[in-house]
Amino acid sequence: MGWIDRISPQTLRILALLAVLALTVLFFASQIENYFNARLFNRVSSSVAIMALIACAQTLVILTRNIDLSIGSVVGFTAFATGSLVTNNPDINPLLLAAYAMVVGAGFGVVNGLLVAYARVPSIIVTLATMAIFRSLLVEYSDAKSITSDALPKWLVEFPNVPLFTIAGVELRAAFVTSLIIVFAVHLALSRLRPARKLFAVGSNPEAAEMAGINQKAVIFAAFVAAGALAGLGGFMFLARFGNITVVAGLGFELKSVAAAVVGGVAINGGSGSVIGALIGAILVDLIDTSLVRWELVSEFWREAVLGLLILTAVAVDAILMRRLIALRVRREKARKEAAK
């Protein structure tokens, strides 16, 4: 048995993504003077802190063969709600505030989950609708006001920028570290915990999962609630980073999170993928975004065009290579059986 028979497609994907990430850095380092330095890391890590959480949330839902298009509105609403709570109660305990954001987010997740899992309305319809509904709730709730950063307590505004460790100018900032810890915790749960493994079972074959005694509805419901809670935490991070929150906060995050997950190798048809992949996907997307702005050869307006091309290439190459890999393994398996005879 060679390595090709033993390595799992998931591991292969992560390795390939890391290679692409390294190549991207090398490419831009050769193009842009003074590119590869601590500031690049600090800049990318600050913005990935938010997107990593949201991509992670989206991954949980996609794993069960569903999609959550309301995630941007949930981020916007929780950012605003958390902001107005802390504006009115500046002395509130930080952990309590983060918990509040997660509870509000999870509440939206409950609405989505009930409609998708128990009322059995297709998730794309439910979340397309709740995207608009949650956003209009925000408009009502905000009453044409916005949250401003000067009304927020100092610790909250500084939270994204506080370095926990500094190694040669590379700062590991609090928000980024928090996101990393959460993503790795979700990853551990998904790969080690029995209840979390059910997400994969339901996503890869709902009928088989049902026959194996898995309560499909409960699993899908839980995925939406967990995604809502993570998106709520994302809203908290969003508030901390930007400070100024209006009714359009988080607009467009739904598609960005799907993009990060898909680039990270999460199968849109469910059942396969990892949150680590989604994390690397989010980093890759952000790295390209940040780097193109600094690349003098092309105007910064190429950012989105290149990003679209990247997603399409990543998915197409992934699909073709995976098909080849599976075909290759089948051939080798056959050859081994022949040889055994």
Rounded distance between C-alpha atoms, residue 118 and residue 134, angstroms: 20
Contact 65, 205 (CB under 8 A): no
* Residue whose CB is less far from other proteins, 259 or 279: 259
Contact 57, 258 (CB under 8 A): no
* Residue whose CB is less far from other proteins, 96 or 309: 309
* Residue whose CB is less far from other proteins, 1 or 119: 119
* Residue whose CB is less far from other proteins, 139 or 172: 139
Contact 121, 64 (CB under 8 A): no
CB of 268 to other proteins, least distance (A): 5
Q: What is the CA radius of gyration of the chain?
A: 21
CB of 279 to other proteins, least distance (A): 19
* Residue whose CB is less far from other proteins, 42 or 123: 123
* Residue whose CB is less far from other proteins, 323 or 336: 323
Torsion over CA: 270, 276, 279, 284 (sign): negative
Burial of 146 (0-12, 13-18, 19+ CB in 10 A): middle
Contact 234, 24 (CB under 8 A): no
* Residue whose CB is less far from other proteins, 60 or 247: 247
Contact 46, 204 (CB under 8 A): no
CB of 66 to other proteins, least distance (A): 12
CB of 32 to other proteins, least distance (A): 20
Binding site for other proteins (CB under 8 A): 67, 69, 115, 119-122, 124-126, 128-133, 135-140, 247, 255, 258-259, 262, 268-269, 299, 301-309, 311-312, 315-316, 319-320
CB of 306 to other proteins, least distance (A): 7
* Residue whose CB is less far from other proteins, 169 or 308: 308
CB of 2 to other proteins, least distance (A): 28
**CA proximity to 68, closest of 24, 116, 14:** 116
The CB density around residue 232, as the number of other CB atoms within 10 Å, is: 31
Burial of 181 (0-12, 13-18, 19+ CB in 10 A): exposed
Q: Decide: helix, strand or coil at residue 251.
A: coil
CB of 116 to other proteins, least distance (A): 11
* Separation of first and last alpha carbons in the chain: 17
CB of 288 to other proteins, least distance (A): 12
Please enumerate, as own/partner, the contacts of 204-212 that have beta carbons within 8 Å and a separation of 24 or more: 204/270, 204/271, 204/272, 205/271, 206/65
